[in-house]
Structure 1
Amino acid sequence: MDKSGIVRILETTLDERMQHAKKAMDAAQQSANEQGKSSVGDKYETARSMGQLDRDMFARQYESARQERLILERINPQEVHKQVTLGSVVDTTAGWFFVAVSFGKLAYLQESVMVVSSLSPIGRALLGKSAGDSFDFMGKKQQINAVE
C-alpha cells in the first residue's frame, strides 16, 4: 500500500477543510459586524451573538483540521514499521488501516482504507502490535497480516 499517496489525499482534504472553515469564519464575523450597523437594541445583540457563535464554531473546525494536518506532517511515508505506530499502514483480516488522524473510510487504489487516530479504540488496539499478532475489533478476534 502506498502511504505517500494516502498522506497526500489526507493533506489535500484537510487543507480544503481549513480553507472552507476560514472562509466561513470570516463571513460569519463580517455578518456579525454588519449587524451592528443596521439594528438596534435586543434584536442587534441577538443577531450579533448568533454571528459570533457561528464564527466560533468555524474557528473550532479550522483548528481541528490544522491540528490533524500537523499530525500528518510528522509522518514519514517512506518509513516502514515493524510494529504499529503513528504512520503505520496495517493489513488485517478486518481490512486496511492507516494510523494517523480520525478521518474514517478512504477509497484508495480500489481498496478501502480506514484512517484512524492512535487515540481511537481501534488505534489503541493496534498500537505496538506486529504481523501475526491478533486484536479485538467489533467483538471479533482479528489478525494482523502485515505492518508497513
Structure 2
Amino acid sequence: MQRQQLLEACHLYVEERMLRLQTSIRGLESDLENETKSSAGDKYETSREMINTEISQLENQLKEFKKLQEILQLPNLQKAATKIQLGSIVTTSLANYFIAISAGEIKLKKQNFYAIGINSPIAKLLLGKQKDDRFSFRKEEIKILSVD
C-alpha cells in the first residue's frame, strides 16, 4: 500500500513537470510563429535564435523527465527486498527514503519520505545495506531501522 502511494506520488511529480514543460514549449513555439520580421533584421534573427535555444533547453529537460518516467516503470520498484536497492523503502534514524527518482519530499499520512534517485549521495551510501546496518552521512551516524 505504502509503496503504491509513493509510486503514485512520483508519477504525479513527473507528469506535472512534463505538463509544465510542454506548455512552455507550446508557448514559445507560438511566440516563434508570431514573431514578425521588423526592419531591424538582426534583431529579428537574434530573437528567433533565443527562442529556439530556449525551446531546445526545455526539450532536453522533457527528455530527462521521460527517462524518469521509464525508471518508474521498472519491475524492481514493485517489490520489497531485504537489501537496499532501487525501489526500497528505507526507514533510518535520520529520515525515511524511497529509492526511485529524485522527487523531493512526499507526505503520506503521518510520515514523510524523501524520494531520492539511485545516484544521489545518500542512496549510494544505502545501496546493498540492510536493517540494523549503520553508516555515516555528513558526520552523523545513522542506523537503518527497516527496509521494505
The TM-score with structure 2 as length reference comes to 0.91
Query: Per-residue deviation at 1:81?
Result: 0.8
Query: Per-residue deviation at 1:75?
Result: 4.4
Query: Per-residue deviation at 1:61?
Result: 2.0
Identity %: 27
Partner residue of 2:131? 131
- In structure 2, the gaps of 5 or more residues are none
Deviations, residues 5-35 of structure 1 (Å, cap 9, x unaligned): 0100110121121111112112212212332
Query: Per-residue deviation at 1:78?
Result: 4.5
SS in 1 for 2:15: helix
The TM-score with structure 1 as length reference comes to 0.91
1:19 paired with 2:39, answer no
Partner residue of 2:70? 70
Q: Following the alignment from structure 2 to structure 1, what is the Cα–Cα distance between the partners of residues 19 and 104?
A: 20
Structure 2: which amino acid aligns with 1:147?
Answer: V
Q: Following the alignment from structure 1 to structure 2, what is the Cα–Cα distance between the partners of residues 104 and 47?
A: 35
Instruction: Give yes or no for contact 2:92–2:146 (8 Å, CA) kept in 1.
Output: yes
What's the RMSD between the two structures over aligned residues? 1.6
Q: Following the alignment from structure 1 to structure 2, what is the Cα–Cα distance between the partners of residues 59 and 8?
A: 24
Query: Per-residue deviation at 1:99?
Result: 0.5
Partner residue of 2:10? 10
Q: Following the alignment from structure 1 to structure 2, what is the Cα–Cα distance between the partners of residues 2 and 77?
A: 12
Partner residue of 1:49? 49
Aligned residues: 147
